Amino acid sequence: MRAVIQRVKSAQVTVDGSVVGSIGYGLLVLLGVSEGDTVDDGTWLAGKIANLRIFPDADGKMNVSLVDSGGAVLLVSQFTLYGDCRKGRRPSFIRAAPPDIAEPAYERFGDQLRDAGVESIAFGSFGANMDVELVNDGPVTLVIDSP
């Protein structure tokens, strides 16, 4: 699994003009699933995201986790995170899991975040063409790959 996480002041996902998910302070998580990913990969990644100390403490240092800050997650499925652009001019998405594997893993990942202590989770719409809006805080953007 691969996640691009962005610390945000707010974020929302719109599909066909309707907001399907929105959060205030927290993390926008773009999640890519590959065919070989396991439940353990999701558990590890959810724990890592929930407990990374990337929110400011009273002194402004990144020293507080998502769980400790009480922040929310907006979780958006994004198979293009596995796009391979090394050859030619069109990305190859052969490493991305097909929808019948990726969608259950994406939905399970929301549960894994809850199990890791994240209380508020909003979702994008799997497989839809989404408009994602965010107010990046910092900016703080990290890429995390599961083992």
- List 6, 12, 55, 78, catalytic entry: 78
The answer to whether the Cα torsion of 147, 106, 110, 3 is positive or negative is: positive
- Assess whether 79 carries a catalytic annotation: yes
Which of 33, 40, 47, 46 minimizes the C-alpha distance to 82? 33
Is residue 93 flagged as an active site residue? no
Is there a catalytic annotation at residue 112? no
Rounded Cα distance between 145 and 147, Å, is: 6
The one catalytic residue in 6, 12, 55, 79 is 79
**44 Rama class: left (phi>0) / alpha (psi -120 to 50) / beta:** alpha
Structure tokens at 48: 């890592």
Tokens 């990305």 map to which residue?
91
Is beta strand 53-56 parallel, antiparallel or unpaired with respect to 62-65? antiparallel
Q: Which residues are catalytic?
A: 78-80
